[in-house]
């Protein structure tokens, strides 16, 4: 009996130890399960975030592609517009240009190499005397302001045909608005300087005068 009583405390202690160990094992497993679940949730969150980032990146790439397409279209439109502007400018440059004299209700077709800004003139009665800025720069009687100066030619208008004009070196030009128009070339060079310039611009003024028309 005594020997049997002595073994009972040891048996109880062993059971308690086993129970404690079991509890510890359960706690460890529970902790591991908890860590796994937490880690798995974080992993899922990370995967979700990664997928969302991929989706946003794809959207951004699509938007960038759309912007590039719009930019290319705009660039093409700009190039087309520039080409149209150049075409219009070329057409404008090639369009006929005129020197207009409102007092007579006429205009003169500007020949090649002569602009309205280059044409200088004065009037007396029914006569217009012409020169150009380049020739006027030679000074003296080449300037249109000098009295009785006809540096590069004149045009006169009259309502009645007068043979006196033909006899005085005038050449018939046209009949417009009830007027006869006559041209007279310069009697000579207005300066001994740069006579080739005077000859060139005298021809331009003659072509200008013979290009008269109703404005």
What is the extent of the structural domain holding 54?
A: 1-95
Res 45: pLDDT: 79
Higher-scoring residue by pLDDT: 157, 41: 157
213 has pLDDT over 90: yes
Residues 125 and 138 in one domain: yes
- For 60, phi then psi, to 5°, come to -65, -40
Sorting pLDDT into bands at 50, 70 and 90, what band is 116?
Answer: very high
pTM over 0.85: no
Residues 17 and 115 in one domain: no
Residues 204 and 102 in one domain: yes
**For the segment 163-198, what is each residue's pLDDT rounded down to a tens digit?**
777 778 899 999 999 999 999 999 889 999 999 999
Sorting pLDDT into bands at 50, 70 and 90, what band is 90?
Answer: confident
- Sheet with 98-101: strands ordered across: 98-101, 106-109, 212-214
Among candidate residues 61, 95, 129, the one where a domain is terminated: 95
What percentage of residues in the chain have a pLDDT greater than 70? Answer: 93
Residues 69 and 102 in one domain: no
Cα distances (angstroms) measured from residue 201 to each of 42, 72, 114, 153, 186: 93, 51, 9, 10, 11
Whole-number mean pLDDT of the chain? 86
Among candidate residues 95, 118, 133, the one where a domain is terminated: 95
Residues 28 and 62 in one domain: yes
158 has pLDDT over 80: yes
1 has pLDDT over 60: no
Res 82: pLDDT: 85
Res 118: pLDDT: 97
Residues 148 and 116 in one domain: yes
Annotate 75-104 with DSSP letters as a single string. Answer: HHHHHHHHHHHHHHHHHHHHS--EEEETTT
Across 14-28, 33-47, 86-100, 197-211, which has the greatest mean pLDDT?
197-211
Residues 121 and 91 in one domain: no
Token couple for 25: 């094992």
Res 185: pLDDT: 92
206 has pLDDT over 80: yes
Compute the average pLDDT of residues 153-172: 85
Hunting for tokens 């969150």 — which residue is that? 45
87/90 Cα distance (integer angstroms): 5
User: How far, in whole angstroms, is CA 196 from its chain's centroid?
Assistant: 41
Secondary structure of 157-201 as H, E, C letters? EECCCCHHHHHCCCEEEEEECCEEEEEECCCCCCCCCCHHHHHHH
30/36 Cα distance (integer angstroms): 10
Across 49-53, 57-61, 173-177, 184-188, which has the greatest mean pLDDT?
173-177
Q: How many domains does the structure of the chain reveal?
A: 2
Sorting pLDDT into bands at 50, 70 and 90, what band is 204?
Answer: very high
Angle in degrees, CA 98, 104, 108, rounded to 5: 20
Residues 76 and 120 in one domain: no
């Amino acid at each position: 009996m005594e020997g049997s009583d002595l073994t009972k405390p040891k048996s109880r202690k062993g059971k308690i130890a086993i129970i404690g160990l079991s509890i510890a094992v359960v706690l460890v497993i529970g902790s591991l399960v908890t860590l796994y679940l937490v880690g798995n949730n974080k992993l899922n969150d990370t995967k979700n975030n990664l997928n969302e980032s991929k989706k946003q990146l794809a959207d951004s790439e699509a938007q960038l592609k759309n912007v590039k397409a719009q930019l290319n279209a705009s660039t093409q439109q700009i190039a087309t517009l520039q080409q149209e502007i150049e075409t219009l400018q070329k057409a404008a440059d090639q369009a006929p240009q005129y020197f207009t004299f409102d007092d007579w209700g006429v205009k003169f077709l500007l020949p090649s190499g002569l602009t309205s800004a280059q044409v200088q003139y004065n009037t007396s009665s029914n006569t217009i005397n012409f020169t150009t800025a380049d020739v006027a720069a030679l000074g003296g009687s080449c300037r249109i302001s000098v009295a009785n100066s006809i540096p590069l030619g004149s045009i006169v208008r009259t309502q009645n045909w007068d043979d006196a004009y033909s006899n005085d070196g005038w050449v018939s030009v046209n009949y417009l608005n009830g007027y006869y128009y006559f041209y007279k070339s310069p009697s000579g060079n207005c300066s001994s300087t740069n006579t080739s310039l005077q000859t060139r611009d005298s021809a331009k003024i003659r072509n200008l005068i013979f290009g008269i028309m109703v404005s």
